[in-house]
Chains A and B, each alone.
Chain A
Amino acid sequence: MASAVVTAPPQSRPRKLTNFWRDGDQISHLVTLLFAASVLLVTVFLVYELWIHSGPSRAKFGFSFLTGKTWDPVAEQFGALPFIYGTVLTSFIALAISVPLGVGAAIFLAELAPPKLSNACTFFVELLAAVPSVILGLLAIFTLVPIMRQYVEPFLKDTLGYLPWFQGPAYGVGYLTAGIALAIMTFPFVISISREALLAVPPEQREAALALGATKWESTWQVVVPFARLGIIGSIFLALARALGETMAVTMVIGNDTSIHTSLLAPGYTIAAIIANEFTEATGDVYLSALVELGLVLFALTMVLNAAAQLLIIATTRKGSRQD
């Protein structure tokens, strides 16, 4: 890395120190490199801290921490599985709702809507993205939870109750409600970034498709959207990152139950939620370090899913180039 810093500029100039420092490019290179390195540094430091402070828990439970289903602060027995399950499940529900909704809305706003309407809508989308999650959580408690309990969950039980995912009492809080709250929170991101990606598609692409006799929809769906897929996938993974780490709004509507349920209507828990809930009053070294280890697990989970995202992007890029 250091060699990159001192690489001489193209013109062959005597490399005196004064010249070196007079050259703005070198300084900006160095400074921005430092800034970029700080990201890496913070990440490494974060993992190091999580690793050190989770020591007692890792020593006591080993890998069984990941598969343990009990979370008992009194007996100091800790297992992360209910929280991993809850985190992945709620994020999956959130994306299953917000991605089709968000991408569809982005296509409309970028390609089909008149510019005035598009700009107005975009303004509101960005406003929605800026609402603090605790406010959305409060709204979810007062509006979403009663609607879920009185209408949506009884309806699901009546129509799909033979499936194991829609059984049990309708509390109004649970995996499904948390997933829907997360969907509301993530879909402005999907719209906003997907729309930017679609708008960045060169007009020649559209014109070429239309010139070949494609309809407006065909040009949008078969030319513009595939061209913008990297941006759209990026938006999805930003949404996923937000869903995985969201804390306040989730803990307010998920029911905070430390056991695993098949039913989406049942209460559950997420990693971020239990850390926020129990950290302040956690006494005892093993208890505290188990909570820190949950943080480590969440970090690893995010890494794994991001790696999966990269693989997905590589895979779809190849597929796209073959089609071309």
Chain B
Amino acid sequence: MKRQILCIAFFTAAATMAASAETINAAGATFPAPIYQKWFQDFNKMHPDIQINYQSIGSGGGIRQLTEGTVDFGASDMPMTDEQLSKVTKYKVLHFPTVLGGVVPTYNVQGVAMGMNFSGPTLAGIFLGTIKKWSDPALKKDNPGVNLPNEDITVVHRSDGSGTSFVWTDYLSKVSPEWKSKVGANTSVNWPVGLGGKGNEGVAGLVKQTPNSIGYVELIYAAQNKMDYGSVKNAAGNFIRADVASVTDAAAGEAKEIPADFRVSITNAPGKNSYPISTFTWLLIPDKIDNPTKKKSVTEFLKWMMTAGQGDAAGMFYAPLPKPVIAKEQKQIALIK
């Protein structure tokens, strides 16, 4: 009996000790989860009293948990819609872009080594099922001199709901009116054609295995796995191969017209070096944090993330934020009351 009491006392003591460090709970997007985990760990090393727990349960889950008030802040790969924002009654939600990512077309065409070019309407045509063969004139026009086989195209898309699919379909909606009216943009859509693979690895696996197929994956995934991927024609008419610089350029191209609440899609951005299938990923922060220590911790973290934190991005294949965007965001921190 005595031992039991001791035991209970020990665990209570341990629990209170852990609680004395400020614990902040966050949940949301999976795409930026690796860099968030690194950021929260590094930040914890500098401020041992601040512990941020991040659960990468998906953007939808992050928005839901924030709406229900079960987490201190959320994270999402797409901005919250007006409808979603109207459901959050206790406070307003501020969008803070953290890093950028790109989505790239990956393909497996027999006899074609690398470096294929795709224009937006061609990609839309392929994913709508109206461009059926690799030898289609539209593809030949984008790839002069490439010996394209007269074979059927197998389309591969994500089967799981994903911010990657959102960016991809958002881009296709911008470049193709037909895609916009027939399919639209969302984390999952009613795909007109194709096979579904689960996650980046599922899509990459199917593309690798299936001859004459095309799919799309996150730039990070393609870069980490040293996969070949195609260039995409941007709004200025140049074929751009996605990399950290060209994705940041897309945000810079859009920076002047960025709305005050940062809810913006930067697909098909202007600028001659902008990669057109790029996106911000956002932290969703309440504008009213009642607990003063929590409020201080969150604002401290945001300031650090926008300065020193950005240095971690490129090494992990995330594109860092352009300077004008950071300047705008720093002003937004003052709105947290």
Contacts and interface: CB of A to CB of B under 8 A. Distances in A.
Interface of A: 70-75, 141, 145-146, 149, 169, 171-173, 251-252, 255-258, 267, 269, 273, 276-284
Interface in B187-216: 187-191, 194-198, 202, 205-206, 209-210
B194 A281 contact: no
Nearest to B193: A257
B195 A171 contact: yes
A284 B161 CA distance: 13
A74 B169 CA distance: 11
Contacts of B57: 280
Contact of B160 (A257, A280, A283, A284): A280
Given A258-B191, A280-B57, A282-B60, A267 B161 contact: no
B42 interface: no
Contact of A171 (B190, B198, B210): B210
A256 B197 contact: yes
Looking at A70, A267, A281, A284, the one whose CB has the most chain B CB atoms below 10 A away is A281
A169 B190 CA distance: 21
Contacts of B163: 281
Contacts of B190: 70-75, 258
Interface stretch (B101-109, B137-145, B178-186): B178-186
Chain A to chain B: the 9 pairs with minimum beta-carbon distance, closest first: A256-B196, A281-B161, A280-B58, A256-B159, A74-B184, A72-B190, A281-B187, A277-B160, A281-B60
B119 interface: no
Contact of A277 (B60, B84, B183, B198): B198
Contact of A74 (B58, B81, B83, B186): B186
B161 A74 contact: no
- Chain B: number of interface residues, binned into ranges: 35 or more
Contacts of A70: 190
Interface of B: 57-61, 63-64, 81, 83-84, 152, 154, 159-163, 183-191, 194-198, 202, 205-206, 209-210
Looking at A70, A251, A282, A283, the one whose CB has the most chain B CB atoms below 10 A away is A283
Contacts of A258: 190-191
Contact of B195 (A72, A146, A255): A255
B161 A251 contact: no
B60 A257 contact: no
Contacts of B162: 281
Contacts of A267: 195-196
Contact of B189 (A74, A169, A284): A74
A277 B191 CA distance: 14
A72 B189 contact: yes
A52 to B, nearest CB: 16
B197 to A, nearest CB: 7
Contact of A251 (B159, B183, B187, B191): B159
A277 B187 contact: no
B160 A281 contact: yes
Looking at B59, B61, B83, B210, the one whose CB has the most chain A CB atoms below 10 A away is B210
A255 B160 CA distance: 12
Given A255-B196, A283-B63, A145 B161 contact: no
Contact of A75 (B64, B184, B191): B184
Contacts of B81: 283
Contact of B152 (A75, A169, A257): A169
B91 to A, nearest CB: 19
B186 A172 contact: no
Nearest to A267: B195
A256 B81 CA distance: 27
Contacts of A75: 184, 190
Given A74-B189, A171-B210, A251-B159, A280 B152 contact: no
B159 A171 contact: no
Contacts of B202: 252
A112 B185 CA distance: 61
Looking at B61, B63, B206, the one whose CB has the most chain A CB atoms below 10 A away is B206
11 contacts: A70-B190, A73-B186, A73-B190, A74-B184, A169-B152, A257-B191, A257-B195, A257-B196, A277-B188, A278-B161, A281-B160
